[in-house]
Each structure stands twice: as C-alpha cells, then as structure tokens.
A and B are shown apart, each in its own frame.
Chain A
Amino acid sequence: MSRWLPRTYLTLVYVLLYVPIIVLVVFSFNDSRSGYEWGGLSLRWYEALFNNRAMVQAMWNSLWLALSAATVSTMIGALTALALHRYRFRGKKLLNGMLFIVMMSPEIVLAISLLALFLLVGLKLGYVSLLLAHVTFCLPFVVITVMARLSGFDERLPEAARDLGASDFTMTRTVLIPVIMPALVAGWLLGFTLSLDDVVVSTFVSGPSYEILPLRIYSMVRVGLKPEVNALGTLLLVFSLFMLILSQWILLRSRR
C-alpha cells in the first residue's frame, strides 16, 4: 500500500475533529453579536463572562467540586488499588466487579441510581451529593491508573520493609506511596477533568443550592447561540489542554 493514502485519510479525519473546536476558539474573539459573521477582533465576550456574577460563582463552585472530588477519589482509589494488589480477602471479585460496573455502565444509569439513593436516605441535593457522585465515577479511573503502576513493581521491596520491622502503614507510606506517586498525580488530574466536564450525572444529583458550570452552560446552549459560551469554551479548552499535557508529562517522566 502506498504511504500517502493512510496519511491523507488520517489528516482528513483530524481536520473534521478539530474544525468545530477551531471555529469555537476563533469566534470567541468575534466582535459581532451574531454567531455567524465575523465582526472584527474583540474580547467583549470574555469581559461579559467575567462580569456575569452567577457565572463566576458557578465557575468557583465547579473548581472547588472538581478539586475535592479529585482529591477524595485519588485517596480512596489509591487505597483500593493497594488493597486489590496486596491483600487477599473474601469478595475480591465482587469488589473488582463493582468497579467495572461503575466504569462500563452508561452514565445515566449511574446517575439515576445515585439519585434514588440520595432521596432514600434524605440527603439534600447540593455539594455533598455532587461530591459523593463525582468521587464514585472517578474512582475506577484512579484505581486502573494506580494498578497499572503497581503491576511492574518489585514485590521484594515491601517484603523487605516488613522484614525490617515496618508496620503495614509505615511500609505503605514509605515504600508504596512514593512508587505510585506519578500514577496518583495522573489519576488526580484525570479525576479533576472528569468532574469538571460531567453533565449527565450532575444533572440528576445537583440542587439549586450549588450551581456548577456544566449545568449553567447546559441551560445556556439549549436555546439559541450564546457568544459567551464560545469564550467560556475556549477557556475550558486551554485549561484541559494544560492539565492533559501536565499529566502526560508526569507519566512519561516517571517511566524513565
């Protein structure tokens, strides 16, 4: 097969994937009110964005939620991965199965099941319900990232630590945690991004007391075109790109 055929095809698909994103970024700097005509360069939509109090509040809410959800899910996910890797206990298959279910089941199924739970136990929908839900759907991704890191690890090191009299806790803290650190950082960044982008689960488990960014965008884009969304989308894009590059860089560097 000639070489230009695959290359042309790849280029074509990448162009299709990136055209909408490029259009969005370019139009975020558009001075015209209509979303379709170019009216000159301007930062007015960025200005409008930051002058919108509810929007800025939603941004802070989302950042705080993503920060806490990523942190909690990284801690629990790391412990889960360590437990799965090191301990032998009854019901290990069930534990694995539950993580698999969370990862594979359609988001909307997870969303309604959590809503049912929160209403049953009488939890008011807001920050806490969002946090519990986001930690739950981030968890399997952290577990997988950490497990991958642990799988190529020299088993004699923790044994040596135990033989030298370290308790399980001390051994985990001084031997295992440093080893899985890059995976923890990568898992944290992934969790942060997943939380920041989630629409489906948040639609179900959020309440009026805690408005978050994706839901605010959702209510804006359902009707018509809002140039502010272009600006917001561009900011989010730059932000996630930064996070992605950071996480890849950390993972690559740790492999050397």
Chain B
Amino acid sequence: MSSVTQQPFRTAVLVLVWGWLLFLVLTPNLLVVGASVMTRDPGSFLSLPLNLDAYRQLMNPLYLDVFLHSLYMAAMTTLICLLIGYPFAWALTKVGKQRQMLLIFLLIVPFWTNSLVRTYALKLLLATNGLLNNALMSLGIIEEPLRMLYTEGAVIVGLVYLLLPFMILPLYAVFDDLREDLLRASHDLGAGRLATFVHVIVPLTLPGVLAGVMLVLLPAMGLFFVPDILGGSRNLLVGNVIKNQFLDARNWPFGAAASIVLTLAMAFLMFAHRLSKRRIGEDGV
C-alpha cells in the first residue's frame, strides 16, 4: 500500500526529514565521538592513531580543577534555583487562575529576551562603582564599595538569573497537578505539616525537581559567556574550556572528550528523571 508510486508526498516528506536529522544531528554527534578518540593534529585538527589521551588529559589536575570548580558553580546555581524556585512554584499555584497566566507570562518574557543583554544588565548593577554599591553606600550599609564583579559569586548570580525560569516551569507543572485531596487525606490520617511535606509533597514533586535540575545544571556548565562577562579569568565553566580548546588551542580531541562527558552527565540525569517518574506510577514519555 505504501509503495513509492502511490505516495510520492509521503516519500518526499520522510526523505527530507530523515535526511536533515541524519546529516545535521546524527552524523555530527558521531563525529564528536570519533574526534574524542583521535590524536590532536595542528594542521588538519585530527589525525589517526586512536587513543584515549584526551580522556586521560581530562584527569590532568589543571583541568580537573577547572572542571570541579565549574561543577561547584553549576551545583550552587542549581541549588539556589531550587531553593528560590520550589516555594515560588508552590506560591504560584496559590493565586487565582487568571493571575497565574499573567505571572507565567511574566516569567517567560526573559526567556524571549536576549540573554547576553540580560547578563550585561547585571554587570551594570554589580560593578565596583555600579548601582548596587552606590545604593548600599548611600544607605550607609557599607563604607567602601564591595568587589562583586569578576568573582565566583557574580558568575553564580548571573547563571541563577538566566536559568531560574527553567527551574520554576517544571516545578510549577508538578505543583499544579498536586491534588488537594491527597494533602487532606494525609492531614486526616494524622500527619502534621512536616510529615505531609516529607512523605507526600516531596515525593510527588520529585519528577519536577529532577526536570528542573536537568534544565539548570547542564546549561550552567556550558554558558561560557556568563564568566566572560561577569567572572574574569579565574571562574571558568566547562563551556569555556570546550570553547577554548576548539576555537583557540585547536585541541579537538580534548574539546570533544569534554563535551562527551557533559552529554553523559545529561544522559544520567535523564535516566534518574525517568526512574523517579516511574516510581510514582506515571509513565515517562
């Protein structure tokens, strides 16, 4: 029934779609895997002897430090986003439905605005003679301007600022699904507020937490322009290392290996997310 002559349109659609995805998604990803096990070559980027040098190089203390520091900043970003976002998503479900739509809209406005420009706006606030310092000094809270820009804290603030909506939206989705009767049942069965929170609310919102963590943690390791603008040279992300290795040092195997480690981290988080969904009996997509 589905022969080529009978359904030329179907065939054309499938060829186009497959062609695009195979050429621009599958092939490039395989190339990166291939590049990560090849040898660095100054002329043609890569040469043949296959080896795991690039992965070994990742274990080099110099890079390991950068990686761990980046992981630390990403983890702090995720934690802060979670601490702000969890009660935020909960509070969102407490206001009227009409107002909720408006508030969600206000939350995605930043998602549609240029992230570079928003990072730059933070720079206006955090600079040594910037607005925040001026405000604090004129209020008499501090005597001397604080050095806020080009610090680890500035990078974390920048990442939180850019990524917070990505934590809130999946959390809002699970809180919105949270059924009031379950909470009442927990209360009727004699559970206090804390017990209800620990045994009912936390497990039911866990998939949202993990989705949020996934959407924040990984970008928080890759957004290289945030340290470039706010962090100075000592607070680098994995993204900065990958970018430098590819565009400046021309060490492709190393850059590729670093990006594969990021991808594996993503796969691991996605796996955890699926498990958590299955546990509460909602089959993951």
Residues of A that sit less than 8 Å from B by CB:
1, 3, 5-7, 9-10, 13-14, 17, 19-21, 23-24, 27, 34-36, 76, 79-80, 82-83, 87, 89, 91, 95, 98-99, 101-102, 104-110, 112-117, 119-120, 132-133, 135-136, 139, 167-169, 172, 193, 196-197, 199-200, 203-204, 214, 217-218, 221-222, 225, 229-230, 232-233, 236-237, 240-241, 243-244, 248
Residues of chain B with a CB closer than 8 A to A79's CB: 13, 16-17
Q: How far is the CB of A216 from chain B (nearest CB, A)?
A: 10
> Interface readout for B234-267 with A: 1 if CB under 8 Å, 0 if not?
0000010011001100001001100100110010
Residues of chain A with a CB closer than 8 A to B23's CB: 117
Residues of chain A with a CB closer than 8 A to B185's CB: none
**Residue in chain B with minimal CB distance to A107:** B222
- B7 interface residue per 8 A CB criterion: yes
Contact: A221 with B219, CB < 8 Å? no
Q: How far is the CB of A14 from chain B (nearest CB, A)?
A: 6
Q: Which of B25, B127, B246, B256 contacts A98 (CB 8 A)?
A: B25
**Residue in chain B with minimal CB distance to A113:** B28
- B48 interface residue per 8 A CB criterion: no
> How many Cβ-Cβ contacts under 8 Å join chain A to chain B?
220
Contact: A109 with B263, CB < 8 Å? yes
- B171 interface residue per 8 A CB criterion: no
Q: How far is the CB of B261 from chain A (nearest CB, A)?
A: 10
Residues of B that sit less than 8 Å from A by CB:
7-10, 13-14, 16-18, 20-21, 23-29, 31-32, 35, 45, 84, 87-88, 90-92, 94-95, 103, 105-110, 112-125, 127, 129-131, 134, 161, 164, 214, 218-219, 221-225, 228-229, 239, 242-243, 246-247, 252, 255-256, 259, 262-263, 266, 270
**Residue in chain A with minimal CB distance to B270:** A104
Q: How far is the CB of B36 from chain A (nearest CB, A)?
A: 10
